[in-house]
Amino acid sequence: MPILILGGTADARRLAGLLVSAGYDVVSSLAGRTREPLRPPGRVRIGGFGGVDGLVHYLRDERIDVLVDATHPFAATMSEHGAAACGALGVPHLVVRREGWSASAGDEWHRVASLDAAARLIPQLGRRVFLTTGRQGIAAFAGLDECWFLARSVEAPAGTVPRRLAVLLDRGPFTVEGERRLLAEHRIDVLVTKDSGGSDAKLVAARSAGVPVVMVDRPPPPRGPVVATPEEAVGWLSDVAAR
């Protein structure tokens, strides 16, 4: 039963590991955005499929029996393509989306619908901004000359960037203590993040430092069954295999 995992996340790598250990034939697909991606266990293919039609051809040519979309919650285009291609072929399709974050007592969160909305809000909240939204979205903040930005990403941002920008190249996981130090060293007065879920070290640090958070909401998941963890996905897949 060949399984295609749409990946690029820690959960996708973990799922590939669980499935390979259980003896499934797995191919993980990565977009090819980073030069040195963390490779999941099992077979790996890299690069876009060429839209929905390209993915339909791939699923047919490779005789894929099941597609698991374990992409990042903000990879909405790939997720839509996965759902559409599986719908066209009648291939079973599962989405793995870890839970988003929720605010706790002491948090000052401002939920917004997009990076552009985050950029509009920032000047009302602070001037020294910690951007953890990934390098692809940095252009949205380019017009804010009154603010200084610290942007953390795995690889350097390209294209249009804010005029006053320091880049910190780093890859998680991060610790609460490390995040606290970073906020203090750079005198950060506002944190911007997407609601990715997972480790909340930066959010805990922001809470204890009294730093407001601009939280960009997730796009809705594609239609069809959704589970929150790789372990639940394995359970779903063993049910499909038993049919």
Residue among 129 and 133 whose Cβ is closer to ligand NAP: 133
Residue among 33 and 163 whose Cβ is closer to ligand NAP: 33
Alpha helices for 32-114 (secondary structure H): 51-61, 76-89
Q: Which of these segments, 1-9, 123-131, 157-165, 167-175, binds ligand NAP (CB under 6 A)?
A: 1-9
Could you tell me how far CA 20 lies from the centroid of its own chain?
23
Q: Which of these segments, 74-82, 87-95, 163-171, 222-230, binds ligand NAP (CB under 6 A)?
A: 74-82
CB-CB contact of 169 with 148 (8 Å):
no
Task: Give the residue among 175, 221, 177, 174 at the shortest CA–CA distance from 195.
Answer: 221
Q: 3-class SS at 224?
A: coil
Binder among 8, 92, 157, 230 for ligand NAP (CB under 6 A): 8
C-alpha–C-alpha distance, residues 132 and 20, integer Å? 32
Site pattern 107..146 for ligand NAP (x: CB under 6 A): ---------------------------x------------
CB of 70 to ligand NAP, least distance (A): 8
| 8-state DSSP, 172 | S
Q: Is 19 in the site for ligand NAP (CB under 6 A)?
A: no
C-alpha–C-alpha distance, residues 34 and 153, integer Å? 11
Residues that bind ligand NAP (CB under 6 A): 6-9, 29-31, 33, 48-51, 54-55, 71-72, 74-78, 81, 134, 194
